[in-house]
Amino acid sequence: MARKIDTVTVEVVRNLLMSIAEETYGIIVRSAYSTNMKERRDVCTAVIDPDGNSVAQVESLAALLGSMLSVVPNIYEKFGRENVKPGDMFIANDPYHGGGNHLPDIVIAAPAFCGDKLIGWIANIAHHADIGGKVPGSTSGDADSLFQEGIRIPVIRIRENDKIIPSVMDLLLDNTRVPQEREGDLTAQISANLIGVQRIQEAYARYNDVLIDCMSELVAYSERRVRAVVAALPDGEYSYTDYVDGCGDKYPDPLPIKVKVTIQGDDLTVDFTGTAAQIKAPINVPYPCTKAAVFFSVKALMGDDIPANEGINRAIKIIAPKGCIVNPMEPSPIGAQIDCQQRIPDAIFGALAPVFPNSVVTAGNGACTTTILAGDGAIGTDSVFIFHEVIAGGGGASAHADGLSGVQVNMTNTSNMPIEATEMEFTKILARKYELKADTGGAGEMRGGLGIERELEMLQDEVLYTGLGDRHKFHPWGLDGGREGGSGAFYRVFKADGSVTRMGHKTTSLPLKKGDVIRVVTPGAGGYGDPMKRPAEKVLKDVIERKVSLKAAQDEYGVVILAEGVGYRVDEQATAELRERVARK
C-alpha cells in the first residue's frame, strides 16, 4: 500500500462497506416482484475493489459467493479494464463463461467512478424463478445438457452511458415464461446497483484513496487471519468421503465426494481427487461454486469474525481435477448443483472434525429441498404462475448444543416462505400442513435438528410438479456416538382414492390433478455424543414439544416416559434400569 493505514480507520471503512452491501441487499428485497426474492431472499450483494477483489459481502447465501468472487475479473478478461466506463452495467449467469452458479442465478455488476478514476464496484446476484429451458422454473432433475436449462448469458453489458440497452432486456424477457416478473426483478437489481454506486462515490469523497487502501488491507487481513489459524493446527492429512444420493433413475447409485485436507505450516490444501466424475445429469458443481463451498467451510471453522472477502481464497489451495463432478466441463448440466455442492462442506467438516472438535457440527439436512409448481393462472400480465420454494430441514448438533430445527444449512440460507404469502400470491395452491417432523433429529447427548413436513394441495388441474432433494438415501451423519438424522422424502397423495405414492428425489414436471397433495419431508440432522448421556429432563421436554416420540425416547435415549392425563413424567427407576442394561451390552 502507498501509505500506512491505522486499524481503527480500516475497521470503520469495513463497516461502511458492509453497510453499502446491506443497503443494496435491502433495496432488492423490498422492490423485487417475485416471492423468490422478496420473501425467500434468494439474493446476495457485495462491494468489490477496483482490482476485482470482493471486499464486503452480505452474509446471506454462501452458495452465491462463487459468482461474487469472480464476476469482475471475468469482465476485465473479456472487455479489458480500460474499456469499462462510467454508466456501464454488466450482466451474466453462465458459470462457464463469466458468472453465476446455475442459470437462474443472474449477477449484475456496476463500476463506480470518481471522474475518470475507477474506485470500486457494486454487484448483486439473485435467483430468478424462470429463465427459459425445458421446464417451468428452469431447473429439472433430468437435464443432460446445459442447453436444456435456460438462456445462457455470458458477461455482456445491460447498461451503457447510464441507459439500459433495450435489445438486451428484450432478449432476456423473450426467453422467460413470466416476463413481467423477470422485468420487475431485473429492474430491482439494476436500481440497487445505482444506489450502491452512489454510496461508493460518497465514501470515496470522504476518504479519497484511503478508501482503496483500506480495501486492500481488508483482503490482506482476512488472509493473515486464516493463515494464523492454520499455522496453529497440527500438520497432517485429514480425509473424509461423503455421498450424494445419485441423480434420478439414470444415476441411481451413490456418488462420492472425496476430500483430503492437507495442513503444512500455514498452507491449507483441499484436494478432491477421487471424487465422482461429471455426469449427464444436473448436479455437476461448476468450479466457482466449489470454490465458494470451500470458502464457506474454512470461514465457518476458522472464525466467524473473519471478513468474508477474497483474502480467504488466497489462503487456500484447491485441487479439483478437470472433469470431476466438482469441476465439470461445459456443457455439463448444473441446474440442481446445489444438492451436490451441499455435500462439499459436509465432507470438509467430516475431515476436520478431529482438529476442530469444538467447532464442527454434525451433518445437517445437507440438501436444497426444492418444490416448483407451475400452471395456468395469471399473475399480473403473466399468463402462468411458477411457484418456487426451498424447504428447510435440520441443523447439525455440536458438542455444546442441540441442532436447530427447520433451518437452512451450509450453502443455503434463504428465508421461510410464509403460508400467507404463498396462498395470497399463488391462489391455485393451498398449504395443508407445515410442521416439524418428529424423530428426524438424530439422537445424541446433543440432539440433531428436526426436518419439516409440508403439504401443498392443488386447486386446479394440470399443475406441473418438480421436486429436487438429496439425503433421501444417505442420512445425515452424527459424531462421537451420535445417531444419524432422518432422511428426506417426496410423496404424492392422490385425490381420487387417497393413496400415497413415494416419488424419487429428482422428480421433474409431474402432472397433478385438482385435489392432489404434494407431501415434502426434509432431512433432519445428526446427533452429537452418546444418546444415553442426554439428561432425562431434556428428553422429557423433547417429548412434550413433540420433537421426540415416546417410543424413540425409550429406544434411542433409554428414557421411559409415562403419559398421565394430558401430561408426561419420567419413570426414573425404569429409566435407570434400562440405561444400565444398555450400558452392559
Chain position carrying cell 452418546: 530
DSSP secondary structure string, 16-82?
HHHHHHHHHHHHHHHH-SSHHHHTS--EEEEEE-TTS-EEEE-SS-GGGHHHHHHHHHHHHHHH-GG
In contact, 412 and 63? CB cutoff 8 Å: yes
Alpha-carbon span 289 to 297, nearest angstrom: 12
User: Is omega for the bond preceding 331 within 30 degrees of 0, making it cis?
Assistant: yes
Q: How confident is the model at residue 217 (pLDDT cuts 50, 70, 90)?
A: very high
Selection from 103, 78, 101 nearest residue 88 by Cα: 78
pLDDT tens readout for residues 19-56: 999 999 999 999 999 988 998 899 999 999 999 999 99
pLDDT tens readout for residues 424-481: 889 999 999 999 999 999 999 999 999 999 999 999 999 999 999 999 999 999 999 9
Sort 409 into a burial class: Cβ within 10 Å, 0-12 / 13-18 / 19+: buried
Alpha-carbon span 308 to 294, nearest angstrom: 12
Average pLDDT over residues 58-62: 82
Chain position carrying cell 470438509: 348
Who has greater pLDDT, 530 or 63? 530
Length of the chain (residues): 585
Average pLDDT over residues 100-125: 95
> What is the reported pLDDT for 379?
73
Lowest mean pLDDT among 313-322, 381-390, 494-503, 537-546: 381-390
> What is the reported pLDDT for 1?
44
| pLDDT score of 277 more than 70 | yes
> What is the reported pLDDT for 66?
65
| pLDDT score of 378 more than 90 | no
3-state secondary structure 325-362: CCCCCCCCCCCCHHHHHCHHHHHHHHHHCCCCCCCCCC
Prediction pTM value: 0.93
